[in-house]
Structure 1
Amino acid sequence: MSRGESLMAELIKGMHDLAIDLGQHNDYADKLLLKNNAMTEKLVVMKEYKQAINAVDACQAPGHRAKLVAGLQQESRQVQALKEEKRILEHSMEEMLQVFNILMVQHRKFVEDCRRSDAMIDLLHKLREQPSYTEDSRVIKLAALAKDVVEKASANECKYKELIVRLATENATMRLLLNMPNTHISNALNVGKLQISEAESEPQSSNFENKAGSNV
């Protein structure tokens, strides 16, 4: 199998895996939307319940008024907590969509760089099969150009992997938020931000750069 065919097979496999991952995230986004709609319906019910409590409170004796006020305050706090949770979910979904858009832009750029580097490597191999002493400088320039293209593609691959790590960390934080009581949401957000900063600071290695450098 030639170098171009091997890279194309790896690229197709990566695009297939990315498509599967995007499908899974779409399903997860649909679940979040369903939960958001359920929360909205619950807020409407809570509002109606609050109005009913006010109507009952107006008819109750003074001795029971304090208990009704305490219950109403508790319900109000629950409503505020639900609103905050809804806001956090909406913000997280917006960030996830932004990361998806950046990821797709980087992926398309990486694919284009791979195609360009494959074309340059094939041209260089053809020139090596027919050496000419009068065209040494031309071959050297083409080799330098091919090396530059491969290095750019490798750098883009590193950025692509960093975005994937960040997206995975954000997804883990989202799952943690959905399964955690409201009192711990702020602490979970701080932990998620710390994990994202640590993941972005880790160096990313590139096997593609080593393979392309050996061929050049």
Structure 2
Amino acid sequence: MNERFFSLPEERQQAIINAGYRVFSRNTYKNSPMSEIAQAAGISKSLLFHYFHNKKELYLFLWDKCAQITIELMTKYGCYSQSGLFESMERGMRAKMEIVRRYPDMASFTIKAFYEKDPEVNVAVQESYHRYFNLKADKARMNFDPEQFIPGLDIPMMYREMYWASEGYLWEMVQRGDVDMEQMERDFGRLIAFWKSVYMRKS
């Protein structure tokens, strides 16, 4: 990547980032032309290639940017400093709604990229995902009080179950072809309420 990208005004950087998210979220990696991204960003194709040497570089930059933005906003909303798991998850929902306001197509891009099968980017995306996922999980879990849960609960299995449920839900949304963030917020709100009713120690 050309460092001149970071010398651009923040508004111009965000326009390019959002254009990339928009185009990549609506097509496969292979069928997402750089010319279309440049047009959506309001710049020439040659200028886009001046900032990013090729499509793969831009794609992986956008993928890593998703993790950086998410961790930044989750930290801002106090998601990693809560002793209560479900309080942290509810704050996370609020953080993600702010992300949607700033980067409307980022969530769709993230889901699309996670299931992207193109060998040019698939391995790098999966390696990056697991690195960031473990980092976020470790930052959060170190604060959780195990006494909040029902006695005898297999906590690692609970985390795994919630992860599997979330991944299955996202896969279903991808198969529909249209990610409705408001519907996702409602559905995950119901999931969190259900998990609380099952796993929380009754006072």
Structures share a fold, TM > 0.5?
A: no
- Tell which structure's C-alpha radius of gyration is larger: 1
Q: Structure 2-normalised TM-score? A: 0.30
